[in-house]
Amino acid sequence: MRRTWLAALAVTVGAAAVASGISQMATAGIPSRSQAGAPSRSPLRWGACPGPTGAALRCARLAVPLDYRHPDGRTIDVEVSRLASTKPAERRGVLLLNPGGPGLPGLPVPALMKLPKKVRDRYDVIGFDPRGVGHSTPLTCGFTRAQGEVAANPPTPGNAADVAEQAATAKRLATQCTRSKTADLLPYITTANTARDMDRIRAALGVPKISYYGESYGTYLGAVYTTLFPHRGDRIVLDSSLPPEGYDAEALRSQGAGFETRFPDFAKFAAATPRQYHLGSTPAAVREKYFQLAARLDNKPVHGYEGTTFRVVTAAMMRADSDLAGLAAIWHALDTNQPPPGAGDVGGGAYSDNYPAAYLGVICGDSRWPTALTTYQHNVAVDRVRYPMYGAFAATIRPCAFWPAPVEPKVKITDRGPSGVLMVQNLRDPATPLSGALRTRRALGERARMVTVDQGGHVTYLSGPNACGNDAVTDYLVTGKRPAHDRYCSAQPATP
């Protein structure tokens, strides 16, 4: 989670191109348009939105095929929101947003994400809950709160026996999902199908092209869309990119390296005021404190924080500079056996397992994960040494190891199509490290330009003070002006 708007979002849960387009659709294992039929152009009926989405938003429901290989068969509903431009004379089109996840609802995002006014004036801003999420035919695995937490964040293994024990739990969770009341949806809750839904949304809106801003997992969704429908994307912004294979086992493992790259920023921050946070007066001392706390909490939890919770909360809060002070306060509370700030809010209210169910549905349905226990035991042993802070957690076995095989081949991201993609990426991103983004940049070739920003944290646009990075995105969305070549933005300190 990052920014205030994403915290709020968490509460609502937690022509010459035709040949190219048909070729990409065949690669994705679905019929050509002549077989599948044109997307529906039925007008959307805008009305009140379900749930707390903001008074300015209007919402509509769109029926889309469950299985695009059989477009005249069963349909499911996708809920769409619109924040209309306040200056229709300046409006140039629509801008779809996706906040990532996967599994995060997107319906309230147009109201929650504080886009610059000049961007808002140029677009009707469109949000949507991806299929299987929120109000869009939601998935469930029937998880209890405890099961949902383990499904998303399994215990950090200390040895091979721990991985074997976790495998038994992961298998039970996978079986529960594939036998749930929405199990018949699971094969079709994929990134490729969500991209196809986006094109149905485009057609229903009555526009020939869509602009798009996606962050984190949303970058993979955007890359898949512009691969399947290369001439229906206008200005495409990918912020904090996954590798071109998407969110698979190796992308998750890469967070071990990302954590190590980002942690020095937090260590420097905490060490700068040792009398306030009491975590050490040098970055090395703060790093040592991490290992001390993780080991102690593995052995004996404090106020609901055990070792894995500590690691996951640290990783999540390092995603934004604005959260570093809060993270240091949590560490200090745990170190002194006090309730961490906000601990009383954890676990309150009614529980829905939609987030972990949809998260698993997408990451397990998109990719074939390793199935051999020994593979995970080996990866954990290697990554515990290479990336001792977070590597074992990121490498351990998950329910995807016991998931049915994907129903269609993965979309291959390529450089075929118009040049209209802008990538932005932080140097020290703990969740989607730079190495994976560079591979996506190479896969897109001349279709893309990339702006790399010397700052830490996950998500670049509007998340930090770097005017070079922020302006690159705003200028592209407003004017269509994109850097002629890949660009590097030097570090810019926060204003007092």
Q: Which residue has the tokens 């509460």?
A: 11
User: Which residues are catalytically annotated?
Assistant: 216, 429, 458
Closest CA to 211 of 98, 117, 103: 98
Helix or strand (DSSP H, E) at 489: strand 487-489
What letter represents residue 32's amino acid?
S
Helix or strand (DSSP H, E) at 235: strand 233-239
Alpha-helical runs (H) found in 336-480: 354-366, 373-386, 391-395, 434-444, 467-479
Distance CA 34, CA 219 (A): 29
- Contacting residues for 329 by C-beta, under 8 A, at least 6 apart: 277, 340, 341
Q: How far is Cα of residue 384 from the mean position of the Cα atoms in its chain?
A: 25
Omega cis (within 30) before 105: no
Q: Is the distance from CB of 16 to CB of 219 less than 8 angstroms?
A: no
- Contacting residues for 37 by C-beta, under 8 A, at least 6 apart: 71, 72
- In degrees rounded to 5, what are phi and psi of residue 126? -115, 130
Q: What is the DSSP string of 67-120?
A: STTSTTS-EEEEEEEEE--S-GGG--EEEEEE--TTT---TTHHHHS---HHHH
Structure tokens at 21: 């387009």
Q: Is the distance from CB of 188 to CB of 67 less than 8 angstroms?
A: yes
- Contacting residues for 422 by C-beta, under 8 A, at least 6 apart: 235, 236, 237, 238, 448, 449, 450, 451, 472, 473, 476, 482, 483
Beta bridge partner(s), residue 126? 82, 96
C-beta atoms surrounding 60 within 10 Å? 19
Distance CA 320, CA 119 (A): 23
